[in-house]
Structure 1
Amino acid sequence: MRKILHILTFGILIYSCSSSKVVNIKTKYFDENNLKISKSKFQRILSTNKLLDIPGDSIHHKKLTLREKRGKITNRVLLESLLEKETNQELDATKPIVIIYYPGKDHCNSSGSTIKESRKIWFKQLEDGINQVAQTKPIYLYKDNDGLEKYNGVLTWYKDPEETVERLFFQYHYPCSSFVVISKDGNYISYFGEFGKEYVWKATQIMNK
């Protein structure tokens, strides 16, 4: 009996020690260049709204990332083909491809109380502006459709074909939704996280040159 008690006591001590180690692990903070910074500096930079907070290389790491990225893809033709197959519509190879990307339900895109009519107006204005600057329409893609039911009767969303758009442009789950505009030559501007219509119009105008 005494031996059993000793074993139980020893087990409880080990569990307590391991539990305290987990609790005491401090979150580490990194800037957009993956350099360690203080929590106060991290929060100060985040408050400027020029960068986003994303997961780091560990569950105890937080990292900043720029909200806009520019680059070039090597095979726009393949992307066009995948999008045409998924959406059952033909794309104009001379026009920019404008993609609004929904990563799945999160605290950002599931909050708020915007009514359906307001959403219709917002996206109608978005599409009108894109049409004015580039005579094209955006394509709405999702990774996970959980939470998209609020767009019923407003927008038609399509599955990201073979997760191609995520792989090319959206490395992380950025909050709310993001967008990317790809020029006819494969150059692109991507913007991460919640955005205004004006950002999409400006990017589309630049990529239409």
Structure 2
Amino acid sequence: MKKILLTFIIGILICSCSATKIGKDKTRYFDKNNVEISKSKFNRIRSTNKLLNVQGDSINHRKLTLREKRGKINDRKSLELLLEKATNLELDSTKPIVIIYYPGKDPCNSSGSATKESRKIWFGQLEDGINQVAQTKPIYIYKENDGLKKYDGVLTWYKDPEGTIERLFFEHHYPCSSFVVISKNGDYMSYFGEFGKEYVWEATQIMNK
């Protein structure tokens, strides 16, 4: 009887482990058009670095998305007023609005060997380039401030007012951080995920025309 009971228990444990293993392997993969594809094809496309890997409609869905988007908002003036109230800054309605967006802590923005001094240099160069292109400064907006302590003494970050920046420009949690540049007419150009200074300068120049 004891042997039968022991065999029964071992069988349950084996089935449980197998179910867990299978459960962990239920991730589904989708391309940028939301068409399901194989994991190998997903990884092959992602390796080109032209698309980002983000969470899809479900927690076990991974989706590829474009890194750049262009569009237009209908009421830039309201956005200006909202940002001015949240930051206590005065915005020039004739200049592009440049926003650096931090979505919250993730493996991308919490790794690396950058120091406070190297961050000062990098963002100083970023701001100098933006000023040369459009005579304006970027605004640093965050969704969640976990992980921002490393910027103390380097940058001033402001809470996304009413989640507006996320709602208008950042549909997903893109790794590291992203940016968007909005022209005086409301046209915008956004870039998702880790970026170089040159991308921001180019977008600012395009949106300043």
TM-score over 0.5 (shorter chain): yes
1:47-196 equivalent positions in 2, closer than 5 A: 47-196=47-196
Q: 2: CA distance between counterparts of 1:156 and 1:18?
A: 50
Q: 1: CA distance between counterparts of 2:14 and 2:27?
A: 21
Q: 2: CA distance between counterparts of 1:86 and 1:61?
A: 35
* Deviation, structure 1 residue 22: 5.4
Q: 2: CA distance between counterparts of 1:116 and 1:76?
A: 34
Aligned residue type for 2:138: P
Aligned residue type for 1:146: D
Aligned residue type for 1:24: I
With normalisation by structure 1, the TM-score equals: 0.90
* Deviation, structure 1 residue 37: 1.1
Q: 1: CA distance between counterparts of 2:179 and 2:16?
A: 43
Q: Secondary structure at the match of 1:163?
A: helix
User: Please, which runs of 5 or more residues in structure 2 have no aligned partner?
Assistant: none
Following TM superposition, where does structure 1 have runs of at least 4 consecutive aligned residues deviating by more than 2 angstroms? 15-23
Aligned residue type for 1:65: T
With normalisation by structure 2, the TM-score equals: 0.90
Q: 1: CA distance between counterparts of 2:142 and 2:93?
A: 23
Output the aligned Cα RMSD.
Answer: 1.8
Q: Could you list the per-position Cα deviations for residues 141-180 of structure 1 after superposition, in whole angstroms to 9, with x for gaps in the alignment?
A: 0000111000001000000111100000011111100000
* Deviation, structure 1 residue 23: 3.7
Q: 1: CA distance between counterparts of 2:180 and 2:153?
A: 24
Q: 2: CA distance between counterparts of 1:199 and 1:121?
A: 17
Q: Secondary structure at the match of 2:49?
A: coil
* Deviation, structure 1 residue 24: 1.8
1:24 counterpart residue number: 22
Q: Could you list the per-position Cα deviations for residues 21-68 of structure 1 after superposition, in whole angstroms to 9, with x for gaps in the alignment?
A: 554242111100001111111111111111000011222211000000
Q: Secondary structure at the match of 2:53?
A: strand
Q: 2: CA distance between counterparts of 1:202 and 1:74?
A: 23
Aligned residue type for 1:83: L
- Determine whether 1:205 maps to 2:202: no
* Deviation, structure 1 residue 18: 7.6
Q: 2: CA distance between counterparts of 1:80 and 1:38?
A: 44
Q: 2: CA distance between counterparts of 1:18 and 1:65?
A: 36
Q: 1: CA distance between counterparts of 2:40 and 2:130?
A: 39
